[in-house]
Amino acid sequence: MERAGWLFVLPLALVLAAGYVWPLMQAGVNSFHPNTPQGIDLGHWTDANYTKLLDPLYQSILERTLRISLIVSAITAVLAYPVAFFIARLKPKVQPWLILVYVSPWLVNTVVKSFGWSLLLRSNGVINTTLQHLGLIDAPLHLMLNETGVIIALVPGHFMFVLLPLWAAASGLDPNLKWAAGTLGAPPWQIFLRVTLPLTLPSLIAGLVINFTMNMTAFAAPAILGGVRARTVSFLAFEVNLEQLNWPLGGAIAVGLLAFTLAVVWGGQRLAFLAVRSGRTRP
């Protein structure tokens, strides 16, 4: 009986083993070999690729990526709360449609969206020409080819990863709790701080973890809106792998990025777990 079950599971397991586990491990192995002009030197082992990641140039790129990602996640958290609660209070029939509006841009590829943002943000783009036309500014604002442009594009780009879990948590919230708190004399901001926030915190954290890792590894938005002046880790990875063709170093970047992502996901889960517990035991 159980043996037949394995027959069902096996094809996918094999495809994933060959097309997923193996490539990742291959990249990991490559990262411990030196790079030569002729390609990867499989005869020798080295940790030079990893020590190279500590180079100040790479460190500054990593710092910028972290900075951008954190700012985007923070802005998203603040913006997603009101939207999630607004949607959760609508009629149940309307809610999926509005959610659909927020989700569907995610299914349009990021190159097209980043291109759209560049049309808005460039120095002779829609925003600058409009502001200049209205006489509000004299010289165009620098809205892209810097960190600002990347942040502007990433906030809506990864918005739904926070919105969805928050919406689910908000619509699952027992309204009696808030009324109970209200009748006990808590003003609205106290209700939010003491009831709503603790109860939705695990969902917020879960959403932010995904949001943050997506920000860290976004490619098209930083490439198109950040350019070489605001290079992020993924853009660096692109250069190292496809322009310098230094695959051992590229492999090291991949391993580092994967390890970092898994650490964030793991840490986020711990945090969400703790948040659930503290939410329960809060007096």
Partner 1 sequence: MMRAFNAAMIALMLAPIVLVVWMSFTPEAFFRVPLDSFSLRWYREALSYPDFVDAFVLSAKLAALAALMATALSFLAAYGLVRYRLAGRGFLLGFFTSPLVVPAVVFGIAMLQFVNRIGLYNHLVGLLFAHVVVVTPYAIRTLHATLQAVPEEMEWAAMVLGATRLRMLARVTVPLAARGIATAFLFCFLLSFSEVTMTIFMTGPALQTLPVRIYNYLTDRIDPTVAAVSSLVVLVSLCLVFLANLAGAFKRLPR
In the set 53, 103, 131, 276, which binds partner 1 (CB under 8 A)? 103
The DSSP element (H or E) to which 100 belongs, if any, is helix 95-103
Nearest to 197 by CA among 89, 71, 78: 78
Distance CA 282, CA 177 (A): 14
What minimum distance in Å lies between the beta carbon of 283 and partner 1? 30
Q: Does 105 bind partner 1 (CB under 8 A)?
A: yes
Instruction: Using the rule CB under 8 A, give the single segment among 134-142, 178-186, 254-262, 275-283 that binds partner 1.
Output: 254-262
Q: Does 88 bind partner 1 (CB under 8 A)?
A: no
Taking CB under 8 A as the criterion, which residues in 26-85 touch partner 1?
26-27, 30, 79, 82-83, 85
Q: Does 168 bind partner 1 (CB under 8 A)?
A: yes
Taking CB under 8 A as the criterion, which residues in 220-249 touch partner 1?
220, 223-224, 233-234, 237-238, 241-242, 247
Token pair, residue 121, equals 């943000």
Instruction: Using the rule CB under 8 A, give the single segment among 131-139, 186-194, 212-220, 275-283 that binds partner 1.
Output: 212-220
Q: Does 218 bind partner 1 (CB under 8 A)?
A: yes
Taking CB under 8 A as the criterion, which residues in 120-149 touch partner 1?
120, 125-126, 129
Instruction: Reduce the DSSP state of residue 40 to 3 states and report it.
Output: strand
Distance CA 203, CA 216 (A): 20
Q: Does 5 bind partner 1 (CB under 8 A)?
A: yes
Q: How many residues bind partner 1 (CB under 8 A)?
A: 85
Distance CA 215, CA 267 (A): 17
Token pair, residue 102, equals 């927020």
Contact 114, 246 (CB under 8 A): no
Token pair, residue 241, equals 């792998």
The DSSP call for residue 229 is: G
Q: Does 9 bind partner 1 (CB under 8 A)?
A: yes
Q: Does 175 bind partner 1 (CB under 8 A)?
A: no
